[in-house]
Structure 1
Amino acid sequence: MVIDVIIPAFNEEQSIARVLAEIPAGLVREVIVVDNNSRDQTGPVARAAGATVLREPRPGYGHACLAGMAHCFARPLPEQADIIVFLDGDYSDFPADMTALVQPILRDEADLVIGSRALGEREAGSMLPQQLFGNWLATTLLHRFYGTRFTDLGPFRAIRREALQRIDMRDTTYGWTVEMQLKAAKLRLRSVEVPVRYRRRIGVSKVSGTVKGTLGAGYKILWTIFRYL
C-alpha cells in the first residue's frame, strides 16, 4: 500500500530536517511539508531535506492539513496514496514509530489509527498539565457522547485515503484532531490506538506554550465536540 505523509509546519526550521531524516526509509512514497506562513527557513530546509514543500499563507493547523490533503487528492485516482499519515514537524513525535502506526491498516484491522501518547512512553515535561487535562476532558466527552474509547487526541495518526475523504474534514484551526475522531465514530469507521513515544519538542509550542493558544485550543475542541452532536 502506498503511504504519503503530511507535516504541517510553522517556524520549525530547527526541527524539520531531523523529523524528515527519521521517517523510516522505504516506507513512504512522498512527504509533504506544508509551510504554514513561517517567518523562518522552514520551507527551504524541508526542501533541501527532500520533502515536497507547499506554502499555505492562511494561519491554522487545519488550513495546513487541508492544503496537504488537496495536494494528495489532486493526483489521478490510481496514483493516490492508500494511507495518509499526519505528523508534527516539531520533533516531539518519533517518526520511527510510523512503522507500528500503519500496521493495523496494513492488516485490514482499522481505517483510522491514532498514535496515543497516553499509552506510550512520554519524556518528563513533554506534555504540560493543561495538555494532559485537555486530553482527558476531550476523550471523556468523546466517550460519553460518541461512544469512542480514545485516550488521546494525538496529532500523529494514519488513515485510509477513502476514510479521510468520507470524513470530509472542515476545521481550519485547533479542532482538527477531535473533528476527525468524532466524525470517524459517527461514520462507524474502525478506529484503534497504538502506543507512541513522545518527547519535549524543539522550540516553544504555539498552542500549549501560550495562554492565548491554550484557551483558544480548549474552546475550539469543546465547541467542535458539541457542534456535531
Structure 2
Amino acid sequence: MADIKVIIPAYNEVDSIAHVVNELPKSVSEVIVVNNNSSDNTVKNAETAGATVITELRKGYGYACLKGLEYIASKSKQPDIIVFIDGDYSDYPEELDNVVAPILEDDIDFVVGARRKNLREEGSMTPQQVFGNWLATFLMRLFFGAKFTDLGPFRAIKYDKLKELNMEDKTYGWTVEMQLKILKKKMTYTEVPVRYKRRIGISKVSGTVKGSIFAGIKILGWIFKYSIK
C-alpha cells in the first residue's frame, strides 16, 4: 500500500481545519497541518483532530508548503505520494482517493483536482479567481502546449518527482510554479474533476483586492519567466 502524506497550509482556519482533517480517508498515513502564524485556535483544533502540527512564522502559502516538505524530508521513512489541500474546507477531503488514483493505477506523476464549473457551488470561486485560472491555463496552453484547465490547490504528486522540482516560491505562485516545472521536466500529469464549495471564513488571497493583485502578478510572472527560458 502506498504511503500518502497530506500537507495543509493553515492561517486562521479555526472553524474549518478539523473538518478537513477528519474527512480525509484512512488511506492517508499522516496529516501535516502547517500553522502559518495563526492568531486563533487553528493549532488546537488541528491537533485535537489528530493532525501533526508544525509552525511556519513567515506568512505565505509557499513558505507553509516548504515547511511541510522540510518536516517530511527530516524523517527516516519517506512517503510515496504527497497531497496538498487547503485548510478552508472548500474542497471535499473525502475525494482524495480519486485524486491519487491516476498515480496508483496509471503511474501518472502529478494530478490536479480540477474545479469544473458544473461541480462548483455557486459563489465558491470569485470572478477574479475564475478569470485568473482561465488566463493562466490559457497561457500555459499557448506557450507550452499544456492541457491544464485549473490551478486547483487540491493536488497529488509522487514524492520523488516533487523533490526533482526544487520548489521555491514562497507566496502566491506555488501552484503555478509546480505546474510549469512539471511541463518543463516533461513529467506525466492529468486532471481529476473535483467538487468545490464555498469556503469557511474569508479568503486571505482572493477575498482581498491586494491579495488578488499580488496573486495575479506572481502567477503571470512565473509563466513569463518560463516562457522565455
TM-score after normalising by structure 1: 0.97
Q: Which of the residues 194, 199, 208 maps onto 1:210?
A: 208
Task: Tell me by how many angstroms 1:109 deviates.
Answer: 3.4
| Cα distance in structure 1, aligned partners of 2:223 and 2:168 | 14
| Cα distance in structure 2, aligned partners of 1:119 and 1:209 | 19
| Cα distance in structure 1, aligned partners of 2:169 and 2:24 | 27
Q: Superposed, which structure 2 residues align to 1:70-219 within 5 Å?
A: 70-76=70-76, 79-118=77-116, 121-219=119-217
C-alpha contact 1:150 1:193 (8 A) present in aligned 2: yes
Q: Residue type matched to 2:19 in 1? A: R
Moved over 2 A (4+): none
Task: Tell me by how many angstroms 1:17 deviates.
Answer: 0.5
| Cα distance in structure 2, aligned partners of 1:169 and 1:100 | 25
Task: Tell me by how many angstroms 1:227 deviates.
Answer: 1.3
Task: Tell me by how many angstroms 1:87 deviates.
Answer: 0.5
Q: Which residue does the alignment assign to 1:51?
A: 51
* Secondary structure in 1 matching 2:113: strand
Q: Residue type matched to 2:3 in 1? A: V
Measured against aligned partners, the alpha-carbon deviations of 1:28-66 in whole angstroms (never above 9, x if no partner) come to: 000000000011111111011110000000000000000
Identity over aligned residues, as a percent?
Answer: 58
C-alpha contact 1:120 1:195 (8 A) present in aligned 2: no
| Cα distance in structure 1, aligned partners of 2:81 and 2:221 | 29
* Secondary structure in 2 matching 1:102: helix
| Cα distance in structure 1, aligned partners of 2:107 and 2:121 | 29
In the alignment, structure 2 segments of 5+ residues that lack a partner are: none
| Cα distance in structure 2, aligned partners of 1:118 and 1:221 | 20
Measured against aligned partners, the alpha-carbon deviations of 1:85-143 in whole angstroms (never above 9, x if no partner) come to: 00000000000110100000001331000000026610010011111000000000011
C-alpha contact 1:119 1:196 (8 A) present in aligned 2: no
Residues 87, 120 of structure 1: alpha-carbon distance in 2 compared, 3 angstrom cutoff? farther
Q: Which residue does the alignment assign to 2:218?
A: 220
Q: Which residue does the alignment assign to 1:5?
A: 6
Q: Which residue does the alignment assign to 2:66?
A: 66
TM-score after normalising by structure 2: 0.97
Q: Residue type matched to 1:39 in 2? A: S
Measured against aligned partners, the alpha-carbon deviations of 1:136-166 in whole angstroms (never above 9, x if no partner) come to: 0000001111221100000000000011001
C-alpha contact 1:119 1:151 (8 A) present in aligned 2: no
C-alpha contact 1:119 1:194 (8 A) present in aligned 2: no
In the alignment, structure 1 segments of 5+ residues that lack a partner are: none
CA-atom RMSD in angstroms: 0.9
| Cα distance in structure 2, aligned partners of 1:124 and 1:221 | 24
